Chains A and B, each alone.
Chain A
């Protein structure tokens, strides 16, 4: 087989001794850390192994996932509404949104969860009716807002404040010319937002929202403040206290949080590719190969059009 390129360059690489030194240092430190973990009696690896797949722990993972997904879903809906209010011409809506974000970002989520837990003490009866007038419908608070709902609402209300800023940054990133072109076609503001601006803002909104989801997974460990007692952190802690072995159960909780975070990270990296954050060669290659049609190429097309800008300050983590 003849090479079409004559005298192809075959050169030795630049020596990089620093890499080898670094690798040796890292291996030694890692070996020491692992050795320390395994030989340290306090970790009680037999207990870790015994309870790692305990049915109570597995159920607790389920509750933690329900809290994470449920509160994120509610928070996303609230955040979109808040972000739209924040950009509204109506000063009342703008003010309400500002106040909401100020309040829920400005107080610790732990304290908020305590208050959600106390809601049935603070307001034993909730009713629907005319303000200061007759009631149409009333219920006992503790029957409706159980510990689970208090935890879910508490997490969602707090998260919505952070997500609202992310959504707002996403909406702002879309080229104003897009809304202008839609306006010139006679579209109403609501249609422009839903059909033209939001789909393009997703490219900027989705990656940090993935980040927030991972953050939320761990924030669910604070629902003990409500108190909600079925989530992963509370459940493992309870077992630990019962056995007088707190440390191994903390290790179990950490292992499971890491496992779920890793799965979420894989999902996030797919989402980021899908929404074309890294404009790179891949999206243009796919475009050449795949041609039009299909959602991946649609997102690549948005990215390539450059009608949205990247905001380096958008990565907001509580």
Chain B
């Protein structure tokens, strides 16, 4: 028997992310926009989940709800057994958590943005070192050693002293991945990481992400890269109009979609 780190059965203990009945409404009253309309989703530890869907389907919002960048209107987000943003006491009363506690919860979750959002006043190495220094309280030497290692891992050892403005889009996104990994996360969220890149730069970012998946990182990836989904994903989720339309292994969802909306979407992107 070969040792497979990927869990096959989704026993509760193996779940990294558990989303239950997520609703998200932006605004109030008549102007309110109901973006997520009851999403249930589980992500096993060590698995790669790719979320597909047309723009406006709520996939990015769902991702941002997982690390509390958006607070949900209804439902619950549980990451690694811990409920995000709220605490239910013995009497069944729900309490909002203090911002400092939420900040602590976010440390276990790395995020990579479509527009990179590197800190422009810091060099590549300083970008990677910033959170370990200020949040984890690492010493400067340790943080620098870790940054060098991470930049090497994303193939940018020779760019450590460069400012983001001096790097190409693909290089910036790889630094952003290294920056997220510097917090030693258990879960990585990717919000359309290649959508803002020139076509010839997409490959280098996807290669880093594939490496990361191979190392056993739990990943949730919102993307339009069907090839990446087919090759790397354990689970493909197709969303439309704020709900999960179809979910399953790539062979099922991408090659033999059951739902008409999935087929229409795939016909458009492929």
A residues with a Cβ closer than 8 A to B are 175, 177-178, 180-189, 191, 195-196, 199-200, 287, 291-293, 297-302, 304-305, 307
CB distance from A178 to the nearest CB of B (A): 6
B115 within 8 A of A: yes
Which residues of B (245-267) have their CB < 8 Å from a CB of A? none
How many A-B pairs fall under 8 Å by CB? 91
CB distance from A89 to the nearest CB of B (A): 9
Chain B residues within an 8 Å CB radius of A175 = 117
The answer, among B123, B166, B179, for a CB contact under 8 Å with A185, is: B179
Chain A residues within an 8 Å CB radius of B218 = none
If A181-B117, A287-B166 touch, whether A187 touches B131 (CB-CB below 8 Å) is: yes
Asked whether A185 lies within 8 Å of B115 as measured between CB atoms, the reply is: no
Asked whether A189 lies within 8 Å of B99 as measured between CB atoms, the reply is: yes
Asked whether B134 lies within 8 Å of A195 as measured between CB atoms, the reply is: yes
B235 within 8 A of A: no
A178 to B116, CA, bound (A): 9
A250 to B119, CA, bound (A): 51
A191 to B104, CA, bound (A): 13
A292 to B122, CA, bound (A): 10
Chain B residues within an 8 Å CB radius of A200 = 120-121
B residues with a Cβ closer than 8 A to A are 67, 69, 99-100, 103-107, 109-111, 113, 115, 117-121, 123, 130-131, 134-135, 161-166, 176, 179-180, 183
- 13 new A-B contacts, CB < 8 A, other than A183-B106, A185-B131, A185-B183, are A177-B113, A181-B113, A181-B119, A184-B106, A184-B111, A184-B180, A185-B135, A196-B119, A199-B121, A299-B121, A300-B165, A301-B121, A305-B120
A200 to B122, CA, bound (A): 10
A128 to B91, CA, bound (A): 45
Asked whether A184 lies within 8 Å of B109 as measured between CB atoms, the reply is: yes
If A191-B135, A293-B161, A301-B166 touch, whether A185 touches B120 (CB-CB below 8 Å) is: no
A305 to B111, CA, bound (A): 20
Question: Which residue, of A188, A297, A301, has the highest number of chain B Cβ atoms within 10 A?
Answer: A301
The answer, among B106, B113, B119, B163, for a CB contact under 8 Å with A292, is: B163
CB distance from A301 to the nearest CB of B (A): 3
Asked whether B117 lies within 8 Å of A186 as measured between CB atoms, the reply is: no
Asked whether B111 lies within 8 Å of A298 as measured between CB atoms, the reply is: no
A178 to B21, CA, bound (A): 30
